[in-house]
Chain A
Amino acid sequence: MAESDNIVVETAEKIFADLADPQTINNDRKEAWKVPLWQALSEAGLPLAWVPDDLGGSGASLADGFALLNAAGRFAIAVPLAETMLAGWLLAQAKIGSPEGEMTVLPANPKDRITLNPDGSLSGRVRGVPFAKAAKHFAVLAHGAGGVSIALVDAGKTKIEAGLNVGYDDSDVVTLDKVAPITVKPAPKHLDQTTMMLIGGVARSLQIAGALESMLNISVRYSNERVAFEKKISKFQAVQHNLAKLAGESAAALAAATSAADAIANATAFNDEVYLEAASAKIRCAEAAEKGGAIAHQVHGAIGFTLEHILHRYSLRALAWRDDFGSESYWAVELGKLVANRGADELWPLVASR
């Protein structure tokens, strides 16, 4: 997806290019870039892309939003854009309007749970919440006696233990101890924690695919510049083959992630076929992040291992994104169970369903 024919993506790419140039960001240890970037994104209505107009958002389609996340991955954007989009989307499912400012979703791990108590308060301890520290509000999916609910919570009412993921981005533990939500409403029937995890997983898959695309591009460029043994290293067959493999991993990630995004954007129901698409995307993109990232570093030699170089902005984030909304091992077990449960003769029909 080099050129975009999509106005949302074009807008975002322009903002990223102007205000989130990876090299500039990488040199800026004080993170002064964050405020103007977030401001520009907000003015363009991008963090609330998935919130309908009547709930205060910009009402972009699911498809456009997913394409935007792919672009964010290409720039390895480290502000809670994906998280705020997901939170806005979740709240909108229960017709809850989105407030301004950064948000994130809870839980971000399929095995964590938040409980809606009989008195209407929320309790639970959830780990690995991306950008919890930066968020002003949380969109929460909770389980109560009446089923699944969606709540808007003031982040200030919760206890946050700061942490960092592998990519040096905030990944925090959040504890809700009988927190009164700002709003809480029942979730629509089709929506449960699994759906939310899969959609979060697809968001991460698109980001990983974008990061891999950039890793491929900067690795190809570097191999055409770096000279060793009096040749550009791109002329060594072993290096070419490594880059061809990286292209394969990048391609697999892109294909899996965009296919899953398309499946969700056009889904009428969250059936087995959509589940296959979404779970596969997270599994395959995580595998690609591991294999592709290793090659990108190999090609860059020691320079790519420095903090000064931008490579780690992509490689470490792609590795970190594997963990959010269910790791590849988690989804592989779940997908394996689903396949086994349907039975051997139903496997091919499932794979060939679209």
Chain B
Amino acid sequence: MTAALRFDPIRLPPKCEELRKEVRAFLAEEMARGTFNPFKPNREDTDVPEFSRRVGERGWIGITWPKKYGGHERSFLERYVVTEEMRVANAPTRRFFVADRQSGPILLKYAPEHIKMDILPRICRGELCFAIGMSEPNSGSDLFAAKTRATKTDGGYLINGTKIWTSSAHIADYMIAIFRTSQPTKENRRHGLTQFLVKMKQPGIKVNPIGQITGQHEFNEVVFTDHFIPDDHVLGEVDGAWKQATSELAYERSGPERFLETYYVLTELVRAVGNDPDTRSAEGIGRLVAQLHTMRRMSVSVAGMLQAGKEPVVEASIVKDIGTVWEQQLPHRVRDLAAFVEETAGNRETLERQLDFAIKTAPKLTIQGGTTEVLRGIIARGLGLR
């Protein structure tokens, strides 16, 4: 087998440019209003419910979903533009982003109609926050080792066990989780997991905060004790979650959020260096910009292929692999280059504060959403090596 990688030079259509302007204007308004400060990525309060609602009002959540569920039937490329502008501005998107990217599409595909009608419009209005319950204390990369049990009972299931590293569980209204409904088979160790919609803040669910090395609170441990989930909250095939969990990864892996998480330090470096840089700074900036531009071209290309109904699985994994490695290295390269920035640079303190936070953030970037090693395994499979 030969690897035929495709990266068509896809351009964003003019519609996207209009939308980009609207998003920028909106974000400028929000900054003026004091909702968030783009120069402080480590802002104390990362959860701003009113911001989510206002984004929802603009029609920028569930942008590609059917209108009957509150969506806007716009293109995947338009969604792309909204995501990148939010990310570059350091906007507080945590409350709605998981639902927009992952949970909503899963519900669209696997939830019963009445649940879709109930939940999806509320996501689109920015009213709901979702968490993802995949990892467990002894099951991270090896998702299929998950043990938290869903035991069949009258009209539903009883859940017992623990999920961990669950981002936003402390503020989430719902979680989409996988639980063990039966034992793996000899032939298929992936068998036996089922996807469920979990309503949070219910009896039998306890959320314990876990601090992160950045000083922020995002992680949680979620303990289930005889928590009841009704039958109509089963998503898709019982025992068949593995098929569902692995089929839509391209959407999750190749977006702008996979290379822009530490972008702010680059802008601040350019500001600190000023408009007449020395050769060393110029070269450093030039290389980083060339790498960023290339990443983005790759990411837009994959978005365009998804929009066109293709399945660029390997390409998407490659974008996440090199994108996350890039955003992880970026703060360190900027730190290198910032070592000689003049004491008098007006934004020196801002840059230093940002670097401090970005350097602390960096280690997680190649772990969340699947580690580098796991991704490279997927790429290797795509190359015909396994």
Whether the pair B6, A240 counts as a contact (CB closer than 8 A) is: no
B 186-218 to A, binary, CB cutoff 8 A, 1 in contact else 0: 000000000000000000000000000000000
Across the interface, B5 reaches (CB within 8 A) one of A213, A223, A241, namely A213
| A258 close to chain B: CB less than 8 A | yes
B 343-386 to A, binary, CB cutoff 8 A, 1 in contact else 0: 00000000000000000000000000000010111011011111
Please name all residues of chain A whose beta carbon is closer than 8 Å to the beta carbon of B386 when the two chains form the complex: 234-235, 240
| B221 close to chain A: CB less than 8 A | no
Whether the pair A335, B290 counts as a contact (CB closer than 8 A) is: yes
Please name all residues of chain B whose beta carbon is closer than 8 Å to the beta carbon of A329 when the two chains form the complex: 283
Query: Of residues B277, B289, B315, which shows the largest number of chain A Cβ atoms within 10 Å of its Cβ?
Result: B289
Whether the pair B321, A244 counts as a contact (CB closer than 8 A) is: yes
Across the interface, A334 reaches (CB within 8 A) one of B271, B286, B296, B321, namely B286
B 262-305 to A, binary, CB cutoff 8 A, 1 in contact else 0: 01001110110111110101111111011111111110010000
Please name all residues of chain B whose beta carbon is closer than 8 Å to the beta carbon of A263 when the two chains form the complex: 9
Across the interface, B294 reaches (CB within 8 A) one of A256, A339, A342, namely A256
Across the interface, A336 reaches (CB within 8 A) one of B282, B296, B297, namely B282
Whether the pair B385, A280 counts as a contact (CB closer than 8 A) is: no
Please name all residues of chain A whose beta carbon is closer than 8 Å to the beta carbon of B276 when the two chains form the complex: 340-341
Please report the C-alpha to C-alpha distance between residue A348 and residue B88 in the assembled complex, in whole angstroms: 8
B257 CB to nearest chain A CB (Å): 14
Known: A328-B287, A339-B270. A217 touches B376 (CB 8 A): no
Please name all residues of chain B whose beta carbon is closer than 8 Å to the beta carbon of A347 when the two chains form the complex: 266-267, 270, 289
Determine the interface band of chain A, counting residues with CB < 8 A from chain B.
35 or more
Known: A2-B2, A244-B321. A343 touches B275 (CB 8 A): yes
Smallest Cβ-Cβ distance to B299: which chain A residue = A255
| B226 close to chain A: CB less than 8 A | no
Whether the pair B289, A351 counts as a contact (CB closer than 8 A) is: yes
Whether the pair B379, A247 counts as a contact (CB closer than 8 A) is: yes
Smallest Cβ-Cβ distance to A276: which chain B residue = B293
Known: A237-B377, A243-B383, A252-B298. A284 touches B282 (CB 8 A): no
Whether the pair A252, B286 counts as a contact (CB closer than 8 A) is: no
Whether the pair B293, A256 counts as a contact (CB closer than 8 A) is: yes
Smallest Cβ-Cβ distance to A288: which chain B residue = B294
| B308 close to chain A: CB less than 8 A | no
Please name all residues of chain B whose beta carbon is closer than 8 Å to the beta carbon of A332 when the two chains form the complex: 282-287, 290
Please name all residues of chain A whose beta carbon is closer than 8 Å to the beta carbon of B297 when the two chains form the complex: 255-256, 259
A223 CB to nearest chain B CB (Å): 7
| B4 close to chain A: CB less than 8 A | yes
| A147 close to chain B: CB less than 8 A | no
A280 CB to nearest chain B CB (Å): 4
Whether the pair A333, B286 counts as a contact (CB closer than 8 A) is: yes
Interface residues of A in 207-256 (CB under 8 A from B): 213, 216-217, 220-221, 223-224, 234-235, 237, 239-241, 243-245, 247-248, 250-252, 254-256
Whether the pair A248, B318 counts as a contact (CB closer than 8 A) is: yes
Whether the pair A247, B285 counts as a contact (CB closer than 8 A) is: no
Please report the C-alpha to C-alpha distance between residue A351 and residue B321 in the assembled complex, in whole angstroms: 21
| A1 close to chain B: CB less than 8 A | yes
Interface residues of A in 307-354 (CB under 8 A from B): 328-329, 331-337, 339-345, 347-348, 351-352, 354
Query: Of residues B3, B12, B384, which shows the largest number of chain A Cβ atoms within 10 Å of its Cβ?
Result: B3
Whether the pair A336, B283 counts as a contact (CB closer than 8 A) is: yes
Please report the C-alpha to C-alpha distance between residue A225 and residue B146 in the assembled complex, in whole angstroms: 36
Interface residues of A in 246-279 (CB under 8 A from B): 247-248, 250-252, 254-256, 258-259, 261-263, 276-277, 279
Please name all residues of chain B whose beta carbon is closer than 8 Å to the beta carbon of A150 when the two chains form the complex: none
A35 CB to nearest chain B CB (Å): 30
Across the interface, A250 reaches (CB within 8 A) one of B5, B274, B292, B382, namely B5
Whether the pair A223, B385 counts as a contact (CB closer than 8 A) is: yes
Known: A241-B373, A339-B270, A340-B274. A3 touches B4 (CB 8 A): yes
Please report the C-alpha to C-alpha distance between residue A223 and residue B88 in the assembled complex, in whole angstroms: 41
Please name all residues of chain B whose beta carbon is closer than 8 Å to the beta carbon of A247 when the two chains form the complex: 3, 5, 314, 318, 379, 382-383
Smallest Cβ-Cβ distance to B323: which chain A residue = A248
Whether the pair B318, A251 counts as a contact (CB closer than 8 A) is: yes
Whether the pair A217, B322 counts as a contact (CB closer than 8 A) is: no
Smallest Cβ-Cβ distance to B20: which chain A residue = A352
Whether the pair A340, B318 counts as a contact (CB closer than 8 A) is: no
Query: Of residues A217, A235, A254, A352, which shows the largest number of chain B Cβ atoms within 10 Å of its Cβ?
Result: A352
Whether the pair A280, B279 counts as a contact (CB closer than 8 A) is: no
Please name all residues of chain A whose beta carbon is closer than 8 Å to the beta carbon of B383 when the two chains form the complex: 216, 220, 243-244, 247
| B173 close to chain A: CB less than 8 A | no
Please report the C-alpha to C-alpha distance between residue A351 and residue B5 in the assembled complex, in whole angstroms: 23
Interface residues of A in 11-65 (CB under 8 A from B): none
B354 CB to nearest chain A CB (Å): 12
Whether the pair A255, B301 counts as a contact (CB closer than 8 A) is: yes
Whether the pair B88, A240 counts as a contact (CB closer than 8 A) is: no
Whether the pair A343, B322 counts as a contact (CB closer than 8 A) is: no
Across the interface, B7 reaches (CB within 8 A) one of A216, A254, A328, A339, namely A254
Whether the pair A245, B376 counts as a contact (CB closer than 8 A) is: yes
| B11 close to chain A: CB less than 8 A | yes
Smallest Cβ-Cβ distance to B272: which chain A residue = A344
| B8 close to chain A: CB less than 8 A | yes
Please report the C-alpha to C-alpha distance between residue A147 and residue B239 in the assembled complex, in whole angstroms: 74
Please name all residues of chain A whose beta carbon is closer than 8 Å to the beta carbon of B7 when the two chains form the complex: 251, 254-255, 258-259
Please report the C-alpha to C-alpha distance between residue A268 and residue B42 in the assembled complex, in whole angstroms: 42
Known: A248-B321, A347-B267, A347-B270. A331 touches B286 (CB 8 A): yes
For this complex, 11 residue pairs linking A to B, each with C-beta atoms less than 8 Å apart, are: A243-B383, A244-B321, A244-B377, A252-B294, A252-B298, A255-B298, A256-B294, A280-B293, A281-B294, A342-B275, A347-B289
Known: A3-B4, A255-B297, A259-B7. 18 other contacts (CB 8 A): A217-B3, A220-B2, A223-B385, A224-B385, A241-B377, A247-B383, A251-B5, A251-B318, A252-B294, A254-B7, A258-B9, A259-B297, A336-B283, A336-B286, A336-B287, A340-B281, A348-B263, A354-B11
B-side residues, CB < 8 A to A, are: 1-9, 11-12, 20, 84-85, 88, 263, 266-268, 270-271, 273-277, 279, 281-287, 289-298, 301, 314-315, 318, 321-322, 373, 375-377, 379-380, 382-386
A-side residues, CB < 8 A to B, are: 1-3, 213, 216-217, 220-221, 223-224, 234-235, 237, 239-241, 243-245, 247-248, 250-252, 254-256, 258-259, 261-263, 276-277, 279-281, 283-284, 287, 328-329, 331-337, 339-345, 347-348, 351-352, 354
